[in-house]
Structure 1
Amino acid sequence: MCRHLACLGPTVPLGEVLVAPEHSLYTQSWAPRHQRHGTVNADGFGVGWYAQDDPVPARYRRAGPVWADLGFADLARVVRTGALLAAVRDATLPGADGEAAAAPFAAGPWLFSHNGAVGEWPGSLAPLALTLPAQELLGLAAGSDSALVWALALHRLRAGDALGQALADTVRDVAGAAPSSRLNLLLTDGAAVAATAWGDTLWYLHEPGRRAVVASEPYDDDPRWREVPDHTLLVATRADVTLTPLKEPPA
C-alpha cells in the first residue's frame, strides 16, 4: 500500500503541504494513522508539480524512503506551486524497478498515483493488458501493477475521456478482472483532481474558491476534513467537489 495526496490551491512551497503539517505525507511514510495494509512506506516516493504557465508537470522521484533524501528537503523548501501530486510507496511485491515504480507516473499534462494492489497480480490483468496497443504496453514505466493500471487509465485519457470517467472505467475493468484489488487512484491535470475510493481510505479538505486537497488520510486535525465513502469517485476543483458512486463490475 501507499499514501498519496493531491492539492490545488494558492502558490506555496511544496513543504508547506508535504512536510510542515503535523501528520504530513512526509510523516505518513513511517507513521500513517489510517493505513489499512502495511505500516511503513519506504519503497520510494515522488512529487510532481506544475509551474506557472506550463501545462507539463515536473517530477522528483527516488527509490528509497523520503526521510533519507536530503535533496528533497531543499526542494520542498524552495519550489513553489499551486498544484501538486505526491506519494510515498509501500511496494505490493519485491521488484527491481526502483525509481521508475515510484509515483507519480506522468504523461503530457497528467500525474497519477495508485494506493492499493491488484489481486492475483500479474496473471489477473493479462487479458486487460492485451487490449492496449503494443507500443503502449511496451512503454510501461515499470513492471508493477500500478504501472499497468496507469497505462489503462492513460489509454482512456488519450482517447478523450475526462479525468473522472477514465478512472471510473479503469476501476470497473480492473475490479472485474481481479475482484480482490484495492484501487484508490489519484489523477490530476493541474486544474482538477479525480480520485477513487475502492478498498482503502480517502479524504478531502475543501475551501471553496481557494483550495482542494485530496489525500489517503488527513495531514492535520482540521475538522473540515471529510472521508469519502468506499466505492466512490471524487472530482475536485478549487471551486467545488462532487462525489459519485462507482459502478460495480459485472458479476
Structure 2
Amino acid sequence: MCRHLAYLGPEQPLKHLLLDPPHSLYRQSWAPRHQRNGTVNADGFGVGWYADGDPVPARYRRSGPIWADQSLLDLARVVRSGAVLAAVRDATLTGADAEAAAAPFASGRWLFSHNGAVAGWPDAAAPLVSLLPPVDVLSLQARTDSAFVWALVLHRLRSGEAAEHALAGAVRQLAEAAPASRLNLLLTDGDTVTATAWGDSLWYRAEPGHAVIVASEPYDDEPLWREVPDRTVVTASRTEVRLDPVEDLVSVSPKEPCT
C-alpha cells in the first residue's frame, strides 16, 4: 500500500530523486521491489518541497498514476530543493476524494505521508474519533484512513509533542484499536525527517553532514542503504540518524527528551 520517500540535503532537481534512479519512486509505482501488500501504486501521487527562505512547503498532487502525468516531467526538471517528501498511492478505497487523498498531506510547515492501511477502516478507528477536537474531524483533508491518521498526528504536534513522540503515540493508538494495521508514517518540517516502520518496509541512506534519505525501499543498489527494523521510529537530519523502538518513545513523556 503506497511507497514514499523523504530527502534532506543539497539542493537538486526533483527528477534526480523521483525519476532518474534505476528503482526510483516513479518506477516503484508499477514495479516495487519490497512492497509487502499490493503490487501497483496507481491511485495518485504527490510531491512536496521547500524553497529557501519559506518554511511553508509547496505541493503538486494528482489523482492518477505518476507515469501518466506529463506535467511532472517538466516540473521535476526545473524545480530544485534540499528538502522533499513524495509518495505514490495504492488506495485503500479506490477513488475516494481524488487528489485530496494523495500524499503528502500538509499543515503549516509539516508534510506527511502514510504507507499502509488501518485494518477494518472505518469501523475500527471510530473509537479514536473522540480523541480529536470536533473541528479537526469536520475538516479532515479526505475521507480516508491516511487523512485520519494525519489528523491524529497533527493534533499531537499542535499539543506540543515532538515529532517522534507524535508518530509513536499515534501508531500505538491505532495499533491498539486496529491490531492488523500497517502504519509506516513519514513526516518532515524541512529540517528533520521522522518515520515509523510498522508492518511494511522502510530504509534509510545517510551521508552524515551531507544528505539523508528515508524511503519505503532503496531507489538504487548502492551499499549505503540500511533497512529499518519493524516497530521502529527513525529520526533523521542532515547530520545524524537515530533509531528508537516505538514502545520506548510511547513510554517517555513527550515533553522530555528521549535518552
- Length-normalised TM-score, structure 1: 0.98
1:127 Cα deviation from its structure 2 partner: 1.2
- For the aligned residue pairs, the C-alpha RMSD in angstroms reads 1.2
Q: How do 1:159-170 and structure 2 match up within 5 A? A: 159-170=159-170
Matched letter for residue 149 of structure 1: V
1:127 and 1:17 map into 2 onto residues whose CA distance is 39
1:95 Cα deviation from its structure 2 partner: 3.6
Given that residues 8 and 192 in structure 2 are in contact (C-alpha distance below 8 angstroms), is that contact kept between their aligned partners in structure 1?
yes
2:32 matched to which residue of 1?
A: 32
2:64 and 2:71 map into 1 onto residues whose CA distance is 12
2:58 and 2:119 map into 1 onto residues whose CA distance is 31
1:160 Cα deviation from its structure 2 partner: 1.1
2:57 and 2:228 map into 1 onto residues whose CA distance is 27
2:257 matched to which residue of 1?
A: none
1:96 Cα deviation from its structure 2 partner: 3.0
1:219 Cα deviation from its structure 2 partner: 0.2
1:162 Cα deviation from its structure 2 partner: 1.1
1:94 Cα deviation from its structure 2 partner: 2.5
Matched letter for residue 208 of structure 1: P
1:223 matched to which residue of 2?
A: 223
1:125 and 1:118 map into 2 onto residues whose CA distance is 8
Query: Deviations 1:178-222 (Å, cap 9, x if unpaired)?
Result: 000000000000000000000000000000000000000000001
1:44 Cα deviation from its structure 2 partner: 0.1
2:4 matched to which residue of 1?
A: 4
2:150 matched to which residue of 1?
A: 150
Q: How do 1:4-83 and structure 2 match up within 5 A? A: 4-83=4-83
Matched letter for residue 3 of structure 1: R
- Is the aligned partner of 1:99 residue 2:99? yes
Query: Deviations 1:24-51 (Å, cap 9, x if unpaired)?
Result: 0011001101111000000000000000
Given that residues 96 and 144 in structure 2 are in contact (C-alpha distance below 8 angstroms), is that contact kept between their aligned partners in structure 1?
no
2:142 and 2:9 map into 1 onto residues whose CA distance is 31
Local SS of the residue matching 2:132: coil
2:58 and 2:238 map into 1 onto residues whose CA distance is 21
- Range that drifts further, 47-56 or 87-96: 87-96
2:116 matched to which residue of 1?
A: 116
- Range that drifts further, 148-157 or 127-136: 127-136
2:182 matched to which residue of 1?
A: 182
2:191 and 2:160 map into 1 onto residues whose CA distance is 16
Q: How do 1:234-245 and structure 2 match up within 5 A? A: 234-245=234-245
Identity %: 68
Question: Which consecutive unaligned segments of at least 5 residues does structure 1 have?
Answer: none
2:168 and 2:105 map into 1 onto residues whose CA distance is 18
Query: Deviations 1:70-112 (Å, cap 9, x if unpaired)?
Result: 0011110000000000000000123431000000000000000
- The aligned length equals 250
1:165 and 1:190 map into 2 onto residues whose CA distance is 18
2:60 and 2:107 map into 1 onto residues whose CA distance is 14
1:162 and 1:75 map into 2 onto residues whose CA distance is 33
- Runs of 4+ more than 6 Å apart: none
1:186 and 1:142 map into 2 onto residues whose CA distance is 18
1:185 and 1:82 map into 2 onto residues whose CA distance is 21
1:247 Cα deviation from its structure 2 partner: 1.3
2:150 and 2:17 map into 1 onto residues whose CA distance is 25
1:133 and 1:246 map into 2 onto residues whose CA distance is 25
1:246 Cα deviation from its structure 2 partner: 1.1
